[in-house]
Amino acid sequence: MCVDSIAESGEHENYWYADNDSVVQILHALRRFRRSDQEMRRRMSADMDMNETDLQALQIVIAAEQSKRLVTPRDLSTALGISTASTTKLLDRLTASGHLERHPHPSDRRALVITATDHAHDEIRGRLKRMHAAMREVAVGVPAASRPAVADFLLRMATLLDSESGPDPRP
């Protein structure tokens, strides 16, 4: 039985957290959300016949395009935490599958810019449109007065997780 299953089954109910039922309830819900999000991403990447890193790269490029930012292979390498050699292989796969294109950088002739194809936009939009609409409906269900607190909680938790370097070494 995995640790999360033990915690959620009631055995050692507050194994990870202090005995404050409402706080524990929020943290268990957050862990459940994270697992569901990871599983959804795994299913989506499998449905698109690509690995999760490829899907993440595609999402990074599309998000940058929406923000009018250019993405270089180095940007992808940094964002994904992978080597430049792995980034080259990833770009080769996503270019061959018709999801990404490489173009000369407009101001640095030594660099490339990565863009998503219309095919990639259509596929991502088609797969996520229904889910994003449903997620919006769930968010609309949060009382308006509580929304800033919920958003602040999630952003602070994201900042904490982004800064976490991993477990302490064993003594």
The pLDDT tens digits for 26-41 are 888 999 999 999 998 8
Domain 50-155 in CATH 3.40.50.12160? The answer is no
pLDDT, residue 17, reads: 61
pLDDT, residue 152, reads: 96
Question: Between 161 and 12, whose confidence is greater?
Answer: 161
Kindly tell me if the per-residue pLDDT of 170 is higher than 70: no
User: What's the token pair of residue 3?
Assistant: 């640790």
74-104 pLDDT, tens digit each:
999 999 999 999 999 999 999 999 999 999 9
Question: Where do the domains of the chain lie?
Answer: 1-47, 50-155
Kindly tell me if the per-residue pLDDT of 11 is higher than 50: no
Kindly tell me if the per-residue pLDDT of 166 is higher than 90: no
pLDDT, residue 6, reads: 44
